[in-house]
């Protein structure tokens, strides 16, 4: 059992204050008994957050920043003719909030966004994408798949980096993205007058006024099939509170996680099973694995009372 926990810590004062009094007894027991591996160190400005890098490594995928081919992997999984070796991207219909000084990414997925609405917008936008050599494929209301050569070496930011933040800092900076910037402007004009958005405005829910590109790249040709390794258990219960800066809710979610998934991993370890834990913050990630413990380590572990907060703050 491999437990992968994104948003275990975030580099904000609110998160730090919420973490200090937090009691996580099962996590503490796990950290005493598992052996830490070298930390994957990074910073908050990376396009691919630590949990995506950790998951990519576990699945034998490339880990170049902003070029983890999540969309190509999804296309291989869900489409009848995925186009082996082609470059893909996720296209996420979204709402950009315009402020006095910047434009921020709204919440994703959009509330009350039905498949019928999503498919209608895709159909309206497809001809414009086709002019730039991009084909759109419906996957689910909140996310489409896009195939095109432009995505081959185009590094893009994960949505988990952008939600609630100024989009300008995270837009693709490469010269190859210039046609996509033009396409984005065209789609903003198209969406402004679309009947789907008229209906959404009447219902009082955010309109779709832009799209986000992420998960770009092509699956490599590798001796072992990329993406087929056993997938860790990806825990998402901390995500919403962390992205919303709701630190009391984040602390409550951590306590619930400690009492459930962490307790289950500890039980697996107690029963002699395979146990692995990966903790991910905004900057870094660290994996802890089970090793045959020595008598000395067990003895010293009885006196090791370092709280998990000291480790989490390093992520």
Predicted confidence (pLDDT) per residue in 276-293, tens digit: 999 999 999 999 998 765
Is residue 134 domain-shared with residue 212, that is, in the same domain?
A: yes
Which of 287, 312, 273 minimizes the C-alpha distance to 57?
287
Whether residue 63 is contained in a domain is answered as: no
> For residue 302, is pLDDT > 50?
no
Pairing of strands 276-280, 2-5: parallel
Q: What is the mean pLDDT of residues 22-36?
A: 94
Q: How would residue 223 be classed by pLDDT, with cut points 50, 70 and 90?
A: very low
Q: How would residue 308 be classed by pLDDT, with cut points 50, 70 and 90?
A: confident
How far is Cα of residue 130 from the mean position of the Cα atoms in its chain?
A: 28
Among 79-83, 139-143, 301-305, top mean pLDDT goes to: 139-143
Domain membership of residue 147 as a residue range: 70-218
Is residue 113 domain-shared with residue 178, that is, in the same domain?
A: yes
CA–CA dist 271, 264 (Å, integer): 11
The answer to whether 253 and 8 have CB atoms below 8 angstroms apart is no
Give, rounded to a whole angstrom, the gap between the first and last alpha carbons of the chain: 22
135 Cβ contact list (under 8 Å, min separation 6): 126, 129, 146, 147, 148
Number of domains into which the chain is organized: 2
Among 218, 237, 256, identify where a domain stops. 218
Among 38-42, 75-79, 218-222, top mean pLDDT goes to: 38-42
Q: What is the mean pLDDT of residues 32-42?
A: 93
Q: How far is CA 15 from CA 150, 238, 273, 301, in A?
A: 38, 12, 33, 28
Is residue 130 domain-shared with residue 156, that is, in the same domain?
A: yes
Cis peptide before 109 (omega within 30 of 0): yes
CA–CA dist 287, 2 (Å, integer): 10
CA–CA dist 180, 82 (Å, integer): 22
> For residue 168, is pLDDT > 70?
yes
Give the chain's mean pLDDT.
Answer: 90
| Helical segments of 223-275, H only | 239-243, 247-257, 263-270
CA–CA dist 290, 34 (Å, integer): 5
How far is Cα of residue 38 from the mean position of the Cα atoms in its chain?
A: 22
What pLDDT, in 10s, does the model give residues 94-105? 999 988 788 999
Whether residue 109 is contained in a domain is answered as: yes
CA–CA dist 89, 156 (Å, integer): 9
Whether residue 224 is contained in a domain is answered as: no
Q: What is the model's pLDDT at position 311?
A: 83
> For residue 299, is pLDDT > 90?
no
Is residue 52 domain-shared with residue 82, that is, in the same domain?
A: no
């Amino acid at each position: 059992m491999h437990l992968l926990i994104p948003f275990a810590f975030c580099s904000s004062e609110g998160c730090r204050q919420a973490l200090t009094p937090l009691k996580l007894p099962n996590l503490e027991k796990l950290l005493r008994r598992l052996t830490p591996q070298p930390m994957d160190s990074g910073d908050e400005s990376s396009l691919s957050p630590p949990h995506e890098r950790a998951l990519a490594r576990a699945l034998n995928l490339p880990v170049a920043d902003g070029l983890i081919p999540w969309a190509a992997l999804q296309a291989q999984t869900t489409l009848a003719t995925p186009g082996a070796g082609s470059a893909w991207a996720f296209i996420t219909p979204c709402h950009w909030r315009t402020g006095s000084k910047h434009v921020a990414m709204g919440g994703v997925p959009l509330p009350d966004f039905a498949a019928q609405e999503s498919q209608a917008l895709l159909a309206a936008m497809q001809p414009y994408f086709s002019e730039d050599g991009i084909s759109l494929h419906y996957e689910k209301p909140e996310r489409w798949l896009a195939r095109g050569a432009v995505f081959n070496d185009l590094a893009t930011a994960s949505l988990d980096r952008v939600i609630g933040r100024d989009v300008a800092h995270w837009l693709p900076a490469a010269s190859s993205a210039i046609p996509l910037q033009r396409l984005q402007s065209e789609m903003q004009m198209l969406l402004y007058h679309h009947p789907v958005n008229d209906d959404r405005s009447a219902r009082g829910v955010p309109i779709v006024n832009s799209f986000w590109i992420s998960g770009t790249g092509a699956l490599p040709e590798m001796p072992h099939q990329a993406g087929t390794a056993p997938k860790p258990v990806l825990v998402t219960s901390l995500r919403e509170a962390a992205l919303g800066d709701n630190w009391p809710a984040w602390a409550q979610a951590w306590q619930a996680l400690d009492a459930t998934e962490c307790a289950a991993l500890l039980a697996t370890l107690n029963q002699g099973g395979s146990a692995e834990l990966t903790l991910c913050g905004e900057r870094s990630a660290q994996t802890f694995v089970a090793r045959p413990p020595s008598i000395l380590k067990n003895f010293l572990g009885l006196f090791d009372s370092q709280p998990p907060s000291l480790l989490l703050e390093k992520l």
